[in-house]
Amino acid sequence: MKHVNLTMTTTQIRRANMTKRTLSAIWGAGLACLLLSAGSMSAEIQTHTLTVDIDNIQVQTGALMVELYANAEDYAAGHNPSASMITPVTKTEHRLVFSDLADGQYAVKVFHDENGNHNLDTNMLGVPSEGYGFSNNAGSFGPASFKDASFSLQADAQITIHIR
């Protein structure tokens, strides 16, 4: 069996410690550069503004309930909108602005809650008795699908929704 000498001279210990400190400094500098570049990458992510004009409002009472969705599942379920707004109705048309939106596919749902009960009221046949609308003015014969109402947002944009 071969004998290994595990003792180090003072000079060897200093060199080993210097090497550890040097490697630690290099690793730390590399980590700092990585974090700085990640920070600058996130600063480069461009966001957009979506202006939504809503017109053809028949009654000047209640509020507009507006929801912006970024995927078909949430849109269909009516849950987890990417953004939403409630604005009192005071005139026949309103302009709403959603800001800080990332690139992507979006769809907008809006209804005019005339009586303030936070529900889209319907008649006995299930036909809405309050105004409603969708992006792309989709949904001529019932609620619009995400596919029909969605649009691509790659820059600042403006859309118009006509209340029915």
β partners of residue 133: 110
**Looking at the predicted structure, is the pLDDT value of residue 121 above 70?**
yes
Residue 88: its H or E element: strand 83-88
User: What average pLDDT does this structure show over 23-27?
Assistant: 50
**153 three-class SS:** strand
pTM of the model: 0.73
**Looking at the predicted structure, is the pLDDT value of residue 37 above 90?**
no
* CA angle, 145 then 150 then 154, to 5°: 170
Please check whether residue 107 is in contact with residue 69, taking contact to mean a CB–CB distance below 8 angstroms: yes
User: What average pLDDT does this structure show over 109-116?
Assistant: 97
Percentage of the chain modeled with pLDDT above 90: 70
**Amino acid in the structure at residue 136:** N
Q: What are 90's two structure tokens?
A: 């005071």
E strands along the chain, which residues? Answer: 48-55, 63-69, 83-88, 94-101, 104-113, 132-134, 151-153, 157-162
Question: Who has greater pLDDT, 39 or 101?
Answer: 101
pLDDT of residue 23: 44
Q: What are 120's two structure tokens?
A: 């889209």
